[in-house]
Structure 1
Amino acid sequence: MASFGQIILYSMIALIIICAAVLIIFFAVAFTSNNSEALSRNVKPIANMGEDEILGCYLYAKENSPDQFTQVSVTWERKGVDGLVYNYEDGAPQLQNQASQYKGRVHLFPEELSNGNGSLMLRSVRRSDEGEYVCNIKSAAHSGKISIHLKTTAFTPPTFKLSEGVLTAVANRWFPKPNSHVG
């Protein structure tokens, strides 16, 4: 029977081997990836219902080339929705497969595509717009994909009132309703 010290020694050796394997896999993936990726300034935006929201999607190239952002195509999808949110290919929107709930409510910024910007403007956010969006952006030289997790809320800025030593915040519209804590 192994002693307590031997068990600890074998456990430490196994842990070191597992950590080394994870590091090797991490570095292998990091150094074999392509030289571009899609980025966003905010992958978990919170949109106020009834207002417009921009879902950011930028193509970042690690190496500069003269024609790096030519022939840009952008496809926006939303998980759990039949049809596309938005599709831009061959220099124009391709909306024949667009999901009905997005018709007339979404657009890109065509003048920004040459800079690798495939951000999506979502007009008049609805509660049903909440969910995971995926942006696939490609150019002649680069490509990338990013997921954006949109949350929806409804609020108006609160007004504050101090009465008898108690500070109260009042807002006409809140969704989801905040927890009230009386202390």
Structure 2
Amino acid sequence: MTAGEMNKIQILMCSVKLIILMVMFSHSTMEQSQLHIVMPKPLGKVTGPYQRWTLLPCHFFFDHMVTSESICLTWWRNESGHRRIIYAFENGQRQKQREDPDYSNRTKLYRNISEGSATLRLQILRLQDAGLYVCEVWSQRHSDADRASVNLIVAARPLRQGVISMNATFLSFESCGWLPEPSPFWTDERDRNVTEVTETSITPGEDGLYCVKSVLHRNTSERAHNLHLCYTNPDTGEKQTDIYQYIATNSADAYHINDGIVLGLLCWGILGIVVVIVVIRKLLHQKPNEESPLVKCPRSGSCRSYNGNSWRNL
């Protein structure tokens, strides 16, 4: 083999090595950017109903085939610079020993991790569960991880949202069990805002949920009033307004008319009782007539009794 042929072989071998190195570098670069996480829209915000369950969505995909056994993921919260792990999955199985005991038996993956789902189901929601959660995914083939966050808002509304109680001069509404705090306002029958003549208080209860009480000093010339209650729907996370309507049954002075009827009936009842008492007293003091079998005895002590057609001395 000549020297020229040897040089050609060496050049060819160097070229092959260079190609292999380029492929390896390209593959390594691909692995560094292979992971992508997709979060829901609107980005990073979820509302969950108090004492029920919600989903913290997180989806991921790799640019090349990755086995489920090599996929690792954690859900965690950042509290004062410390990672509080909510859910951990590694080496093909859940790592419960790494999870915060406060979330024990309250979390699980919503779907199979092999389908690219890291969505977490969080159950029995508490008020303190509200906050920022981080979904972090990586592969054992490389150490770089991708992450995304979602903000959980816990909302509540009472099963029975309350009713309006009525009086001659005011309307009153009271209801407890709201989160976040609702916003009430009143309108009259002409759809004018009359909140300025109301007294409204919104206070947190011992359970952390809000109580709302609103009293409207009603104008008796107005026949109808509406209470508008704005709040966050726990199931949809959207703002919602419920309207409670009060309509006077007969007229604006229905309360005064009813009071007059009651007073009139009371007077007639008293008059009837007096008449009955007078009649009874007259009957008790009535003198016996001639047809009466009772005969008043004279003062002499003698008295006659009628027996058939004859009289006899007693």
TM range (shorter): 0.5 to 0.7
Give the aligned residue type for 1:55.
L
1:16-64 alpha-carbon deviations (Å, 9 max, x no partner): xxxxxxxxxxxxxxxxx82432122252101111111110111034x4x
Contact 2:78–2:84 (Cα < 8 Å) also in 1: no
CA distance in 1, matches of 2:103, 2:139: 24
**Residue 59 of structure 1 contacts residue 143 of structure 1 at CA under 8 Å; is this kept in 2?**
no
1:176 aligned partner: 180
Whether the 8 Å contact between 1:47 and 1:151 is mirrored in structure 2 is: yes
User: Given that residues 126 and 152 in structure 1 are in contact (C-alpha distance below 8 angstroms), is that contact kept between their aligned partners in structure 2?
Assistant: yes
CA contact (8 A) 2:74 2:137 kept: yes
State whether residues 59 and 118 of structure 1, in contact with CA within 8 Å, keep that contact through their aligned partners in structure 2. Answer: yes
Matches within 5 A, 1:127-138: 127-138=127-138
CA apart distance, 1:69: 5.3
When the two structures are superposed, what TM-score results if normalisation uses the length of structure 2?
Answer: 0.39
Unaligned runs of 5+ in 1: 1-32, 162-168
Identity percentage over the alignment?
A: 22
Alignment length (residue pairs): 141
The CA distance in 2 between the partners of 1:83 and 1:177, in whole Å, is: 28
The unaligned stretches of length 5 or more in structure 2 are: 1-31, 164-172, 187-192, 194-314
Match of 2:153 among 138, 151, 154: 151
For residues 27-176 of structure 1, the aligned pairs below 5 Å read: 34-42=33-41, 43-61=44-62, 63=63, 65=64, 67-68=65-66, 70=68, 71-80=70-79, 83-109=84-110, 112-139=112-139, 143-156=145-158, 173-176=177-180
Between the aligned partners of 2:175 and 2:117, the Cα distance in structure 1 is 36
| Structure 2 CA distance for partners of 1:149 and 1:69, relative to 1, 3 Å | farther
SS of structure 2 residue aligned to 1:117: coil
- Give the TM-score normalised by structure 1: 0.65
Distance 1:69 1:139, change over 3 A: farther
Superposition deviation, residue 157 in structure 1 = 7.1
Provide the alpha-carbon RMSD of the alignment.
3.1
The residue aligned with 1:28 is none
Cα distance change, pair 147–77 in 1 and its aligned pair in 2 (3 A): same
Q: How much has 1:68 moved relative to structure 2?
A: 3.5
Q: Report 1 or 2 for greater relative contact order, CA contacts < 8 Å, sequence distance ≥ 6.
A: 1
